[in-house]
Every structure is written in structure tokens, then in C-alpha cells.
Amino acid sequence: MPEDKQKIGLLWKPQLPALSSSLKEGNHEMGSTSSLWMPQNKLIDGLFVPPKDPKKINKLQRKQLKDTTGKKWFEMSAPNITSELKKDLEILKLRSVIDPKRHYKKSDSKTLPKYFQVGTVVEPVSEYFSSRLTRRQRKATLTDELLSDRGFHQYRKRKVSEIEDERRAASGVSKWREKKKKHKSRKPTH
């Protein structure tokens, strides 16, 4: 009757120093990083032996880190950006143009944010009849909501016509007539 041989050391999970500022200070705390078990590392007598070079240890740990904001921002992860989300983010960047009555601080960044969260507004039960949106009024994205807003549509149409009028006056025959009038009025009489 063959005996079942237990393999020693194969169930052990490797523990490497945590990637933090504590490594720089010389304080080596052992953190459980079971996801660092990689086939490229060497097994000696069935045990995982981490590399001795601290640069390689840091490189291994950086590969295993999730893409988050960190502890101060509650480990918020970076969402997958779809085309609808991208459009909504671009519209939020142009929010100062959308509403003429509101003034926003100018945004310094020219790129879309990497970390953000999208939420849903839930009205309290007390506002069921007073200020609740009906299903027809609810839109899937911010773009759809703006396109269905009549006030925004009228404002946008008025602004486009004003810009077209300015450009039409600045070019063409009327532009040359105005220049001619100014030129005649500047001529000195002898």
C-alpha cells in the first residue's frame, strides 16, 4: 500500500516587504503579497525565494498594484472610459459655455480625468410629487439631457446667430465699404 507523501513548502505563500516609504527608512514590515507568486521566480527545495535585489522586489510589487488613487482617496479605482462617458466628461469641461448665468473657475488640465465616479441622484420620498423627474424627462447621458433642454437650445441658437452676424460683417463687400469710408474720412483736406 503506497503512502501519500505530503509535499513540504508548496502551500506556503511568499511574503515580501510592502512597497511604501517604510522601505526607504529601513523599517522592513512584512506584508502578505500572495499575488507575487510568479513562475519566473526560482523555487529552491519547493520554497519561493524572492530576489535579493531591492529594485527587482519593487518592480515585482509595482506590477501587482491595482490602479487606484490611494488610501487618502479610499482606493478609488480608475473606471473604463466608454464613448458616452468621454462625451459627458468633455461637456463637463465646457460647462462655463453651457450656462451663461454661472461662472466657473477655469480648468487647468487639458486632458480628461483618470479617476472619477459617476453617481445617480435619488430623490427623497417627500419630493415624489413636487420636484421629481418623470421617466420621459430622465435621460441616459448628460449630452441627451442638454439636447432636450429648450432653454439651452434657444441660448445656443442665439449665440450661433450672433457669431455668424459678426463674421458676415467682418468679411465680404460690407467690410470693404467700411474700410473705404474710414479711409475717406482720414484724408486731410488742403
pLDDT digits (tens, 9 = 90+) for 146-157: 989 999 999 999
CB 18 within 8 A of CB 50: no
What's the confidence (pLDDT) of residue 62?
A: 79
Q: Which residues of 68-88 are buried (b: 16+ CB within 10 A; e: fewer)?
A: eeeeeeeeeeeeeeeeebeeb
Domain count across the chain: 3
Which residue would you say has higher pLDDT here, 10 or 108? 108
Q: Are residues 84 and 120 in the same domain?
A: yes
**Do both 61 and 75 map to the same domain?**
no
Given 89, 109, 135, the domain boundary residue is 135
More confident residue, 121 or 174: 121
Same domain, 99 and 118: yes
Nearest to 69 by CA among 78, 61, 60: 78
H or E stretch covering 31: strand 30-32
Q: For residue 189, tell me if it sits in a domain.
A: yes
Domain assignment of residue 59, yes or no:
yes
The arithmetic mean of pLDDT across residues 58-70, rounded, is 80
Q: Is residue 48 situated within a structural domain?
A: yes
- For residue 187, what pLDDT band results from cuts at 50, 70 and 90? low
Are both 52 and 75 inside the same structural domain? no
- pLDDT one-digit tens code per residue, 85-133: 999 999 999 888 888 888 888 877 889 999 999 988 888 888 888 888 8
Q: Do 54 and 39 belong together in one domain?
A: yes
Residue 144 vs residues 5, 64, 99, 100: alpha-carbon distances, Å = 66, 39, 16, 19
Q: Residue 79 carries which DSSP code?
A: P
Note whether 49 and 56 are within 8 A (CB): no
Question: Are 60 and 73 in the same domain?
Answer: no
Range of the domain at 38: 15-65
**29 domain residue, yes or no:** yes
